[in-house]
């Protein structure tokens, strides 16, 4: 037993004839935040979709010491949950109904209990529970996407660019929430363009370029890596 929650070995994904992931391997410890950084088109979303089973992949995915279930539904039941880049909320449904949908695999009493935990964590959503999701601000929409994900009681949250399109202050709020979630025992695989902020809250980091892992290591070391600094971290 490796003690890892997730282990990817030699993951390849193709769209038609074009291979976009060329043998990705990575691992994550339970209770950790691992961030995947890289430019647009590097294959980060594809990697999350492969882990969730939304796109087919070759290679092996071991989750909690066993091969990951084959179907997406099986993976959700096993504790994996993806918050996609586009959030994919139901704009014409209320906040409450969107949250409820996240608990579709749970029974009524689990749903009721988790719903109250979600509202306690996101008081803004509780205030707006009757409001239509389409009328929320960008930050509130991301909170709703996270709240809906928590309804499945995940053990591993896959977050695709949670800060995308948000104002800098809201980005910090959202990443603080991600950090807080880890304290509840949820492990988080965080895809972010905002490399500096992501490395600040992560334990480990992976740089993916053109479908391959170029660099990996403790987030604190990646954050001061000169090569990364030039291309991805900007200067202070």
List contacts with ligand ATP (CB under 6 A).
15, 20, 38, 40-46
> Which CB atom, from 135 or from 231, has the smaller least distance to ligand ATP?
231
Please state whether beta strands 58-63 and 212-218 pair in parallel, antiparallel, or not at all (unpaired): unpaired
> Which CB atom, from 41 or from 56, has the smaller least distance to ligand ATP?
41
Q: Smallest distance, Å, CB 6 to ligand ATP?
A: 18
Q: Taking Cα atoms as reference points, which of 204, 214, 221, 193 lies closest to residue 27?
A: 204
> Which CB atom, from 38 or from 103, has the smaller least distance to ligand ATP?
38
Burial of 182-218, coded b for 16+ CB within 10 Å and e otherwise, reads: beeebbbbbbbbbbebbbebbbbbbbbbebebebbee
Q: Smallest distance, Å, CB 200 to ligand ATP?
A: 20
CA 1 to chain centre: 25
> Which CB atom, from 35 or from 45, has the smaller least distance to ligand ATP?
45
Q: Smallest distance, Å, CB 211 to ligand ATP?
A: 7
> Which CB atom, from 43 or from 205, has the smaller least distance to ligand ATP?
43
Strand partners, 156: 80, 187
Q: Smallest distance, Å, CB 88 to ligand ATP?
A: 14
Q: How many Cα atoms are found within 13 Å in the side-chain-facing hemisphere of 105?
A: 17
Q: Smallest distance, Å, CB 38 to ligand ATP?
A: 6
Q: What are phi and psi of 148, to 5 degrees?
A: -65, -40
């Amino acid at each position: 037993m490796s003690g890892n929650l997730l282990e990817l070995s030699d993951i390849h994904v193709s769209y038609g004839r074009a291979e976009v992931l060329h043998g990705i391997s990575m691992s994550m410890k339970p209770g950790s935040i691992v961030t995947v950084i890289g430019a647009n088109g590097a294959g980060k979303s594809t990697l999350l979709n492969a882990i969730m089973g939304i796109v087919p992949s070759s290679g092996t995915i071991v989750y909690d010491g066993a091969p990951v279930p084959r179907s997406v539904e099986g993976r959700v039941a096993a504790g994996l949950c993806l918050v996609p880049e586009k959030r994919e909320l139901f704009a014409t449904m209320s906040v409450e109904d969107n949250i409820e949908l996240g608990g579709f695999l749970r029974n009524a009493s689990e749903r009721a209990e988790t719903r109250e935990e979600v509202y306690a964590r996101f008081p803004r959503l509780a205030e707006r529970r009757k409001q239509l999701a389409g009328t929320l601000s960008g930050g509130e929409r991301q909170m709703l996407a996270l709240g809906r994900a928590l309804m499945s009681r995940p053990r591993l949250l896959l977050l695709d660019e949670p800060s995308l399109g948000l104002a800098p202050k809201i980005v910090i709020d959202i990443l603080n929430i991600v950090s807080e979630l880890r304290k509840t025992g949820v492990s988080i695989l965080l895809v972010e363009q905002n490399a500096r902020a992501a490395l600040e809250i992560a334990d480990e980091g992976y740089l993916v370029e053109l479908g391959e892992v170029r660099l990996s290591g403790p987030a604190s070391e990646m954050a001061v890596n000169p090569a990364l600094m030039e291309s991805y971290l900007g200067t202070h």
